[in-house]
Amino acid sequence: MALDLVKRPDALAEAMAEAARLVEAQLDALIPATEAAEARLIDAMRYATLGGGKRLRAFLVMETAKLFTVNTTCAARVAAAVEMLHAYSLVHDDLPAMDDDDLRRGKPSCHKAFDEATAILAGDALQTRAFEVLAEEDTHADAEARCELVTSFAYAAGARGMVGGQMIDMLAEGKTLSGPEITRLQALKTGRLIQFSAEAGAILGRAPQAQRHFIAAYGRELGGAFQIYDDVLDEEGDAAALGKTAGKDAAQGKATMVSILGLERARAQAEHLADQAAAHLESFGERADLLRQLAKFTVTRKS
């Protein structure tokens, strides 16, 4: 089975650390500090993006890009754009009017470190910058590829993706969602951006449709596994390991896959999806080993 291919258990950790290092350097360069009057905005954007997170999405971009021999800097730029978008969504989700969370990645959330107005604006400007980076010439020599990055990214990010999912999540408080409803919510809220992160490498590499199809399927199942396992962690995790408030969904009366399936069946479902994700990579042979290991990591991580 695909997940048994793991030969060097530390290889994934090394590769993820390397991707995190590359994306951190890109973010630092793409959001330069300033002395201008709007410095506070830039400071908040840098606070929200730099020095934190697992960089799972960045790693996905970097690693699928390798399958299609994409230039590392181009891939790192797309990875940085994805992390900017992810960071903006966390900044806005943490606002008092939304999930009202004081803690993020083990430090005060953006509106706590700055203020609400600055956090709203920093999130807004991070989204703008993400789109700008994707469309800039340095990201790909072919404008068709850049436009495809922008439209695929927008699909994952907007009303039919991440923001739509967050809306459904807000409306779900105190309601009983069905399994299919939760699955759709999670696909929109987190799945689409994780899927885009995987597909981005194939878009950058101008991969043939068949290969792109497999990568998309991998990203989709991986996203599903990731989100269900997040519910598992939220149920049993502690705030110190998570770097955010644990048990929050249950406290808010939100239905999750754990509340529907129970802890063990939810865990089994996440593992099943991770196996399926890995299976979609068969045609890529050993070159996709780290992506297979990532699938396993997704459902065994502690935070």
**Which positions lie near a copy of itself, rule CB under 8 A?**
31, 36-38, 40-42, 45, 88, 92, 95, 97-98, 115-118, 120-121, 123-125, 127-129, 131-132, 134-137, 142-144, 146-147, 150-151, 154-155, 157-159, 163-168, 170-171, 181, 184-185, 188
- Tell me the two tokens of residue 255: 């239905």
User: What are the residue ranges of helices labelled H in the chain?
Assistant: 11-30, 39-49, 56-67, 72-93, 110-113, 116-135, 143-157, 162-171, 179-186, 192-204, 209-236, 239-242, 248-251, 257-261, 263-279, 289-298
Q: Which of 37/240 has CB closer to a copy of itself?
A: 37
CA distance 195 to 56: 12
Q: Which of 20/45 has CB closer to a copy of itself?
A: 45
Q: How far is the CB of 163 from a copy of itself (least distance, A)?
A: 4
What's the N-to-C CA distance of the chain in angstroms? 25
Q: Which of 178/300 has CB closer to a copy of itself?
A: 178
Q: How far is the CB of 224 from a copy of itself (least distance, A)?
A: 18
Residue 107 three-state SS: strand
CA distance 258 to 233: 10
Q: Which of 185/260 has CB closer to a copy of itself?
A: 185
- Alpha carbon separation from 297 to 16, 57, 261 (Å, rounded): 11, 13, 22
Q: How far is the CB of 210 from a copy of itself (least distance, A)?
A: 23
Q: Which of 28/237 has CB closer to a copy of itself?
A: 28
AA letter at 217: A
Q: How far is the CB of 31 from a copy of itself (least distance, A)?
A: 8
Q: Are 138 and 74 in contact (CB under 8 A)?
A: yes
Q: Which of 31/61 has CB closer to a copy of itself?
A: 31
Q: How far is the CB of 115 from a copy of itself (least distance, A)?
A: 8
CA distance 242 to 246: 7
Which helix (H) or strand (E) element contains residue 103?
strand 103-104
Q: Which of 79/177 has CB closer to a copy of itself?
A: 177
Q: Which of 164/237 has CB closer to a copy of itself?
A: 164
Query: What burial letters (b/e) apply to 196-214, b meaning 16+ CB within 10 Å?
Result: bbbbbbbbbbebeeebbeb
Q: How far is the CB of 92 from a copy of itself (least distance, A)?
A: 6
- Tell me the two tokens of residue 85: 């978008």
Q: How far is the CB of 11 from a copy of itself (least distance, A)?
A: 36
Q: Are 79 and 57 in contact (CB under 8 A)?
A: yes
Residue 108 three-state SS: strand
Q: How far is the CB of 142 from a copy of itself (least distance, A)?
A: 8
